[in-house]
Chains A and B, each alone.
Chain A
């Protein structure tokens, strides 16, 4: 039972950390709970479907189906988080002002909430499908206390997520969205690095140095702390060079993008006129918001 609980815990932990950061980043937003809960439910459903079609997936694209599927999911998550980060860098200040004025609830939607629901769903789907396949194998092998192990693992993983969330809530409101936005950027960079791993093992990308460095004496990938750091900041004790290229490119793109969005935002607030470029982004964002919140 303990072996089952431990594996389930490790998979749930990874998804829980991602869900927690997303939940914190959308704190105080209208109907946020429904979106996060819906994302988790969608992810569990997806996980079962993916596990059921695992053989099909394994044979697709002359054996590279699994890698392409995982890399595709990860890159999609990076793009969706990236969109939200850029949106927040032009609306975040306004949002935290509202939250400070009204207490904690913001009575308006965040346009990229729908995208973040998908990020939650994809995180749960990816880790969940592994859990389903593992449990299937254990059941075939006649393991005892399967359900107890599953329940224990899920509860423990979720507990860590709630613990992190409680910790994040202690960040002062003034700095809150700045902090969660930075966490989202690091999360996206780490996911990009994981996508590179899959593309390397499918021989679609070169490794460019294997390993680039070795810090496993300090913090190993297999340890709980190493795994947590892997999810939250993209830490890897023995990374391939290409992984760090993906990580750095994501950090750079989002950092520059956020700066650009903020600079676009400033003159509009001051002069009261709206530059055309900002308008188009805002319109796209609010259209999206109406669709997802409708």
Chain B
């Protein structure tokens, strides 16, 4: 029983480790613009992006280049997991204010 438990724990360890080691990045929405407009993230790594909406209206963080579609309510924040990416440029936008809310994920 003890052996089984330790085996299970040993198997789960990499999962736990990966969950805690995800690097975090912050994006801010203000006046329907992303700050920074270019977010640099490392290649081949899962990344957690926290999006802070400082506008008084809801926005939808969305991308056509990677799985991302999440609504962020006025004056609140969301987090979303993306990657691991191959190096390149990946566009994202705010679905509700597309003329201004444009950003690029630069993966290096």
Contacts and interface: CB of A to CB of B under 8 A. Distances in A.
Contacts of A66: 70-71, 78
B38 interface: no
Given A58-B71, A140-B56, A201-B81, A210 B66 contact: yes
B69 A58 contact: no
Given A7-B95, A141-B57, A216-B65, A133 B80 contact: no
B24 to A, nearest CB: 12
Interface stretch (A89-97, A145-153, A236-244, A268-276): A236-244
Interface residues of B, number: 34
A102 B86 CA distance: 58
A178 interface: no
Interface in B16-68: 19, 22, 46, 48, 56-60, 64-68
Closest 3 CB pairs of A and B: A137-B57, A221-B64, A197-B67
Interface of A: 3, 7, 54-55, 58, 63, 66-67, 70, 130, 133-134, 136-138, 140-141, 196-198, 200-203, 207, 210-211, 216, 220-222, 237-238, 240, 243
19 contacts: A3-B98, A7-B95, A7-B98, A54-B71, A58-B73, A58-B78, A130-B71, A133-B60, A133-B71, A133-B96, A134-B60, A137-B74, A140-B57, A198-B69, A201-B80, A203-B22, A210-B82, A220-B64, A238-B66
